[in-house]
Structure 1
Amino acid sequence: MAPRAVWKGVLKIAEVTCPVSLYTAASTAERISFHTLNRKTGNRVHRQFIDEVSGKPVEAEDQVKGYDKGDGDYVILEPEEIAAAIPESDKTLSVETFLPCDEIDDIFFDRPYYVSPSTPVASEAFALIREGLKGQRSAALARTVIFRRMRSILIRPHGEGLIATTLNFDYEIRSAEDAFSDVPAIKIDDEMLELAEHIIKTKAGQFDPKSFDDRYESALAELVQAKIEGRKLKPQKRPEPTKVVNLMDALRQSAKASGDKTTRKTKSATPKQEPRRKAS
Structure 2
Amino acid sequence: MAPRANWKGRMVVGEVGCGVGLYTAASTSDRIAFHTINRATGNRVQRRFVDSETGKPVPREDEVKGYEVDEGDYVLLEDEDLAGAIPESDKVLRLDRFIDCDDVDTLFFDRPYYLAPSDPASVEVFALIRAGMEARSVAALARTVLFRRVRTLLIRPQGLGLVASTLQFEHEVKSPAEVFDEIPKLKLEGEMLDLAAHIIRTKTGRFDPAEFDDRYESALAELVKAKLEGRKIAPRKTKRPEKVVDLLTALRESVGGGDGKKAQKPAPRRKAG
Same fold (TM over 0.5): yes
The amino acid across from 1:232 in the alignment is K
**Counterpart for residue 148 of structure 2:** 148
Q: Is the 8 A contact 1:202 1:259 kept in 2?
A: no
* Residues 78-117 of structure 1 mapped to structure 2, 5 A cutoff: 78-117=78-117
Instruction: Kindly indicate which of the two structures has a greater share of residues assigned to helix.
Output: 1
Q: Is the 8 A contact 2:253 2:259 kept in 1?
A: no
**Counterpart for residue 171 of structure 1:** 171
Q: What secondary structure is seen at the aligned counterpart in 2 of 1:143?
A: strand
Q: What secondary structure is seen at the aligned counterpart in 2 of 1:257?
A: coil
Length, aligned pairs only: 260
Q: Which string of whole-angstrom CA distances, capped at 9 and with x for unpartnered residues, describes residues 219-274 of structure 1?
A: 000000000000012222332211011211110000110799xxxxxxxxxxxxxx
Identity %: 58
Query: Is structure 2 residue 64 aligned with structure 1 residue 27?
Result: no
Q: Which string of whole-angstrom CA distances, capped at 9 and with x for unpartnered residues, describes residues 87-113 of structure 1?
A: 111100011111100100010000000
**Counterpart for residue 72 of structure 2:** 72
Deviates more, 1:135-144 or 1:182-191: 182-191
Q: What secondary structure is seen at the aligned counterpart in 1 of 2:257?
A: helix
Deviates more, 1:161-170 or 1:226-235: 226-235
Q: What secondary structure is seen at the aligned counterpart in 2 of 1:45?
A: coil
**Offset at 1:218?**
0.3
Q: Is the 8 A contact 1:6 1:21 kept in 2?
A: yes
**Offset at 1:70?**
1.4
**Offset at 1:203?**
0.9
**Counterpart for residue 244 of structure 2:** 244
Q: What secondary structure is seen at the aligned counterpart in 2 of 1:235?
A: coil
The amino acid across from 1:37 in the alignment is I
Q: What secondary structure is seen at the aligned counterpart in 2 of 1:36?
A: coil
- After TM superposition, the runs of 4+ consecutive aligned structure 1 residues lying more than 3 A away are none
Q: Distance in 1 between matches of 2:55 and 2:126?
A: 57
Q: Which string of whole-angstrom CA distances, capped at 9 and with x for unpartnered residues, describes residues 118-167 of structure 1?
A: 00010000100111110111111011001111100111101110001000
**Counterpart for residue 206 of structure 2:** 206
**Counterpart for residue 121 of structure 1:** 121
Segments of structure 2 that go 5 or more residues without pairing to the other structure are 261-273
Q: What secondary structure is seen at the aligned counterpart in 2 of 1:96?
A: strand
Query: Is structure 2 residue 162 aligned with structure 1 residue 162?
Result: yes
**Offset at 1:51?**
0.8
The amino acid across from 1:95 in the alignment is L
TM-score (norm 2): 0.92
**Counterpart for residue 13 of structure 1:** 13
Q: What secondary structure is seen at the aligned counterpart in 1 of 2:95?
A: strand
TM-score (norm 1): 0.90
**Offset at 1:54?**
1.5
Q: Is the 8 A contact 2:153 2:166 kept in 1?
A: yes
RMSD after superposition: 1.4
Q: Is the 8 A contact 1:202 1:258 kept in 2?
A: no
Query: Is structure 2 residue 226 aligned with structure 1 residue 226?
Result: yes
